[in-house]
Amino acid sequence: RSMDAKSVRLLAELCATRVLQVENLKALLEVETQVPLQQQLLHFNGKEMNNAEKLSAIGVHDGDLVMMVASNNRTSQDIMRLNPDGSAVNPQAFQQHIRGDSQLMAQLLQNDPSLAQAILGDDITELQNILRSHHQQRLQLKRKQEEELALLYADPFDVEAQKKIEAAIRQKGIDENWEAAIEHNPEAFGRVVMLYVDMEVNGVPLKAFVDSGAQSTIISKDCAERCGLLRLLDQRYRGVAIGVGQSEILGRIHVAAIKIGHAFYPCSFTVLDAPNMEFLFGLDMLRKHQCIIDLKDNVLRVGGGEVSVPFLHEKDIPSHIRDGEKSSNLASSSQGAAGESSKAREKTPDVPPPSSPAGAQAVIPPQGGDFEAKVIKLVELGFDRASVIQALQLCNGNEDQAAGYLFGG
């Protein structure tokens, strides 16, 4: 309900005074409108008028408007009342009440931005969920404080109590470490964008994952087919890549042209049956082409610096790679299947490689876990797999003699 200043003046004259208090005005309005004084909320210029204030002090002039709202006898406590789970009994009234308190809103914006945004927004469900979440946090804090208080009075000779005290001290150290990280190293809690660059494989543009932790350069079967390279697949190099998980090695593509920047480079690929991974530029080609991962300038330098290509920003990486769940699957797949782990390795080829140019008969390398273990051990010393297998064959599987042969060669 509203009354203009003229009506207010007439009511004031009935009280034989021109300095009318808000409480007296409410009493007159109660007679006029039948709304009980206790249920009246008077607003002037968007602010609630207190009972003890005077109209002249508030600044009510001719032509001004005074708004009366019937509160239905709801006090602030009623409006702010919460359910047992922490949600508001009347979320709309709760929201409107806090919106109308500019001081409280300022405090919320500074100390609890998520709740402040929910109050300013239109999603009541989100507001209720945040209130419930805050309630759970308060309960957990209260429970933790009660447990800490109980430990202070625990029997010093009680083994279980001492274990709890030890756990509490350890957790306190963890919490302090977490708080220090939040303050001094907040970047550690963000998601790190992996290193991708634009490349062309056989003329087909790709987003290449640069991974110095992968032993070999990897291409998926689907990607190889899209690039027109599957016809060059040498299935004699079939096997299994083992690391954090495993994936089937379909074979190798011995050489194909890749374009990085404006230059072309020869590259060999291990082909995997890994649908979650397209192309991984591994350590073998990084070494061969003398690549430098320059994180300061955020570029990949190839050929000792003759070509530089920028690492892609997150927005430029395909959405299926940026997706959290698929990225997790990709990490697991590439670590196990692509040899991202330093221990990932191929099994011995099922078929021997072609005979040497001199026409010497190819020797089928011995099979079995013992021979494979020797191969892995010597490869880890820095020798390539083919040389290791050849040395072990010449030395009849003697690991020490083969090592001597390799170092001597």
DSSP state letters, 173-219: HHHHHHHHHHHH-GGGGSPPPP-EEEEEETTEEEEEEE-TT-SS-EE
Name the nearest CA neighbour of 332 among 216, 268, 246: 246
Fold assignment, 196-337? Cathepsin D, subunit A; domain 1 (2.40.70)
Residue among 62, 64, 78, 211 flagged as catalytic: 211
Contact 330, 276 (CB under 8 A): yes
Contact 199, 259 (CB under 8 A): yes
Residue 200 confidence (pLDDT): 92
Residue 367 confidence (pLDDT): 47
Residue 340 confidence (pLDDT): 38
Asked whether the CA dihedral 318, 323, 324, 328 is positive or negative, the reply is negative
With H, G, I as helix, E, B as strand and everything else as coil, classify residue 330: helix
Helix axes 113-120, 91-99, angle to 10 degrees: 110
Contacts with 181 (C-beta within 8 Å, 6 or more apart), sequence order: 188, 189
Residue 319 confidence (pLDDT): 75
Q: Tokens 């530029």 map to which residue?
A: 281
Helix axes 124-152, 113-120, angle to 10 degrees: 150
Strand 204-210 and strand 279-281: pairing?
A: parallel
Contact 406, 387 (CB under 8 A): yes
Residue 2 confidence (pLDDT): 46
CATH code for the part of the protein at 369-408: 1.10.8
Residue 205 confidence (pLDDT): 92
Q: Tokens in use for 171?
A: 């957790």
Q: Tokens 């309005």 map to which residue?
A: 29
Residue 328 confidence (pLDDT): 41
Task: List the chain domain ranges.
Answer: 2-73, 130-189, 196-337, 369-408
Residue numbers of the chain with a pLDDT score lower than 70: 1-19, 46, 62-63, 70-78, 242-245, 320-369, 407-409
The domain 2-73 having CATH identifier 3.10.290.10: the answer here is no
Burial of 393 (0-12, 13-18, 19+ CB in 10 A): middle
Residue 334 confidence (pLDDT): 43
Residues 215, 112: Cα–Cα separation, whole Å: 48
Residue 75 confidence (pLDDT): 57
Q: What share of the chain is helix, strand, coil (3-state, %, to 5)?
A: 45, 20, 35
- DSSP secondary-structure letter at 21? B
Single-letter amino acid, residue 403: A
Give the H or E element holding residue 402: helix 399-408
Contact 282, 211 (CB under 8 A): yes
CA distances from 42 to 49, 58, 330 (A): 5, 12, 63
Residue 27 confidence (pLDDT): 81
User: Does the active-site annotation cover 211?
Assistant: yes
- DSSP secondary-structure letter at 40? E
Q: Tokens in use for 383?
A: 């020798």
Strand 245-260 and strand 263-272: pairing?
A: antiparallel
CA distances from 268 to 205, 254, 258 (A): 17, 5, 10
Residue 198 confidence (pLDDT): 93
Residue 167 confidence (pLDDT): 85
